[in-house]
Structure 1
Amino acid sequence: MMRLPPIVLLMAAVTLVGSNSLALSPVALEIGRGFGGASAQEVLVAASLFGAGTALAAVGIAPYADRIGLSRALSVALCVLVLGMAATALAPTLAVVWVAQGVAGLGSGVALPATYGLAAEIAPKGRESTFLGRVLMGWTLSLVFGASAAALIAEVAGWRAVHGVLAGLGVVVLLALALSPRMGEVRAAQGGTPWSALRVPGIGPALAVAGGYMAAFYGLYAYVAPHLQAGLGWPVWMAGAVPLVYGIGFGAAALGDPWIDRFGARRVAPWVFGVLVVQYLALALVAGSAWALVAGCLTWGMINHMGLNLIVGRLAGMDAARRGAILGLNSGVTYLAMFVATAGFGWVEAGWGFAACAVVSAVCVLPALGDALRLRRAR
């Protein structure tokens, strides 16, 4: 097998994690039919367990990746993820699907922090944001494959083929990792604990910014498609344009990542978070127009890419010896924000509509904007 550049392997790892997390929703009804007519809600218990497993591993296990090295930790984590995806494809009962997705979550909770940490380790000096942006392109690929192609594969070959294909791709990535030179290793002291990262200066505000930022995204994203269908009368297949358009914008924004390296994160961050606040308010204004809303998802994806790059890059650069612990806490905060925001925004949407959700998202980003302005003044 041809050796692949490390940056491609890291991008592939993010794609696997994202695809598994996004693939369940489009095929939930098909999975339910395969298990005696179980409802989509019953099937999506698996998604909740995946999120719980990811958060648990990110906070409780990922910090130990610093001790063995992030490269070795990534390989072990992907083995666990592949095991979970293969077990999902072969599951004889719905309960096994739930357990299998919980196992996949444990692998994802270590794989993501390890991947982001390795991107920071191997990046040439002065090009950290550019390298991280390329790794984040894996989320674009997962939006296309996990959210869009999953339904097509299920239609042609059945729902088990979706996770079977993902497991097969995971094996390919593992083989490529095994054949590639080990990536950079910066290890922590053996006496470190999973919570040692909380003592890193500045970690509190950085995690608070990440939590608000991810709550804004996940809370609103969860209700775009339902709003298009129930509120604006679009059919399901047209509402599927949302992840595709958002993903295109997210991927296209990678062209702007070198500007972060050129001008510096502290100078760029206030502009990015300020524009994102305006973006959410604009989505509120066009909530009554389906086509304008979908078009807005393109620019939303572009700005979100830049913001995520800034947040992850800041955390990854805080303490090289504790990258796994720091980024593990970030993943834990992310999935907690996803859980809380999805429920909370549902209450807002039911009471005041989609436009109100977009306004709440703008409010959630204000702490990131305020913190960015504070850091720029401090400099």
Structure 2
Amino acid sequence: MSGVAEADFLLDQRGTGRDLGAWVVGAAFGREGRLAGFALSDGTVHLADPADHAAAWRRLEAHDGTGQSLVPDAVDGLLSGGDDGRLVRIAPDGGMEALAEFGMMKWVEHLATHPSGLRAVAVGKNVHLFDGKGAKLKVLGPHPSTVGGVAIDAKGKRVFATHYNGVSSWFVAAKADKPRVLEWKGSHHAVAISPDGQNVVTAMQENALHGWRLTDSQHMRMSGYPAKTSSLSFTAKGRWLASSGADSVVLWPFFGGGPMGKAPTEIAGGDQVICTRVACHPQHEVVVAGFQDGLVLMAEIGSGKVVPVAAPGRGAVSALAWNPAGTHLAFGTETGFAALLDLAKR
């Protein structure tokens, strides 16, 4: 990999890993920083203590079926969804409670939360909104097709849901629930909202991204990927959008009039191995990326300096997450390997 600093892998120096035995479908930290979790395809969630790498990881039987999603809950703990139709809250002490049960034939596939207490839960063609106490606020939809991704803006005022032929933007506090539909033909999946709330970008079924500038509905077309993009992440100040789907980390500039008319920056590439996951640091212009061969790298966007995090050989990276302070990193792979790293300054 071109540009990789000559150093040992950070996992060997500052991390711990486990073979959990099933595809890692999601990784997340609680907002309070006391809990790290890994959701698996066998329906279990494994909990680790970021402050104590030597401590045993706790295994929870969260779902009777396949795990689908794992995110930080609105205030603390984690929120998990599965193909058993259950929405499960996991408290920092590992206690579990079902916040909602949608039925065995309903997949709880996409989740988003906000520190205000708002929870957005995509099930089929609808997005269900819950408050911080678990009470249902409303149902948004039905959308034209099954929701492919859901996101909440930084202020917690709008919910975005992707679907066939575009993305719908809903105001949470609206008295009459009528969405603003941002249209573009095709199937839209993963979605990212810029920190300033002015741009929304989706990953499409074809090898491309599509975006809208919300102030004037200007379209943004970002194409040229050799593979489907499944992971999007804006940097903390929204200057860059990192994306998977190429044999490098593709970074689109959202400043100086970009991204239209601007070429993307590519870093951490060179071995013809597809990047599968990206996650931008919550404070700095740093991105961590996982690849099809299991390699995990961290890159400083400004300098292009690349630091190796984990060696290849453990299966395609399927989950990546930073804790809110940006001091800990979690990742998981399709073969069931999961790792937790302490990257705090020493």
* TM-score bracket, shorter-length normalisation: under 0.3
- The structure showing larger relative contact order (alpha-carbon pairs under 8 Å, at least 6 residues apart) is 1
TM-score (norm 2): 0.26
TM-score (norm 1): 0.24
The structure carrying a bigger helix percent of its residues is 1
Greater C-alpha radius of gyration: 1
